Amino acid sequence: ADICFTSTTVPKMLVNIQTQSKVIAYTGCITQIYFVLLFAEMDNFLLAVMAYDRFVAICDPLHYMVIMNPWLCGLLLLGSWTVSVLHALLQIFMALQLSFCTDLEIPHFFCELNQVVQIACSENFLNDLVVYFAPVLLATGSLTGILYSYSKILSAIHGMSSAQGRSKAFSTCASHLSVVSLFYGTGLGVYVGSARVHSSHSTAAASVMYTVVT
């Protein structure tokens, strides 16, 4: 998911830097938006699934192989994929309803949906609601699950008598927590912040964090 997510944006960004041009065809822009949304949501849900995996591994290690069986893992993956595809299709359908008064020129390194909405001429409350509310709702839902899992993990770690056990538990979660912080901190910042204030430079910088750095 991460490789596909990065591959959706970075090659075009490198071409833009090399050619000093930000031109992209409308169909190319819509296609890029679809795949960005698809793999961003996959990341969103998989980070939540990974938090649950760590919760089971640390809080109930003796039953880990029983709980996290291949059937459940497959079901969680299928659910993540299905919701991601449906959400991306919904957002693309709403984006296709937009009309533009001038040529489509986005001050960004890729076609991010909220940036496209901002330069549209058509005023559509339902469109704005879906574009901003749906990603935030899905992200906060996953983030709530992650925070709940880690609250249980911290409680379990606090109850450990072995310093080695606590260290191992922390090292298990460290990389996941760092990605969660970068991904949700910058991702939600882009969507919530751009709904209030338009700053193309800061938005692009934040987008680099959750599309490339993580």
Tens-place pLDDT, residues 61-98: 899 999 999 999 999 999 999 999 999 999 888 888 77
Cα 135 from Cα 133, distance rounded (Å): 6
CA–CA distance from 69 to each of 66, 83, 150, 153 (Å)? Answer: 6, 22, 21, 20
The larger pLDDT score, comparing residue 191 to residue 214, is at 214
**142 pLDDT higher than 60:** yes
Q: Return the domain boundaries, the chain.
A: 1-211
| DSSP letter (8 states) at residue 107 | S
- For residues 37 and 83, the answer to whether their CB atoms sit within 8 Å is no
pLDDT of residue 200: 60
| Single pTM value for the model | 0.82
2-26 confidence digits (pLDDT tens): 889 888 888 888 887 888 777 777 7
Specify the long-range contacts of residues 13-21, CB closer than 8 Å, at least 24 apart.
13/109, 13/110, 16/109
**123 pLDDT higher than 90:** no
Q: What are the residues whose beta carbons fall under 8 Å from the beta carbon of 41, sequence distance 6 or more? A: 80, 83, 84, 87, 88, 135, 138
Cα 83 from Cα 76, distance rounded (Å): 11
CA–CA distance from 72 to each of 32, 118, 134, 138, 177 (Å)? Answer: 31, 40, 26, 21, 23
**102 pLDDT higher than 70:** no
- For residues 169 and 58, the answer to whether their CB atoms sit within 8 Å is yes
The larger pLDDT score, comparing residue 86 to residue 139, is at 86
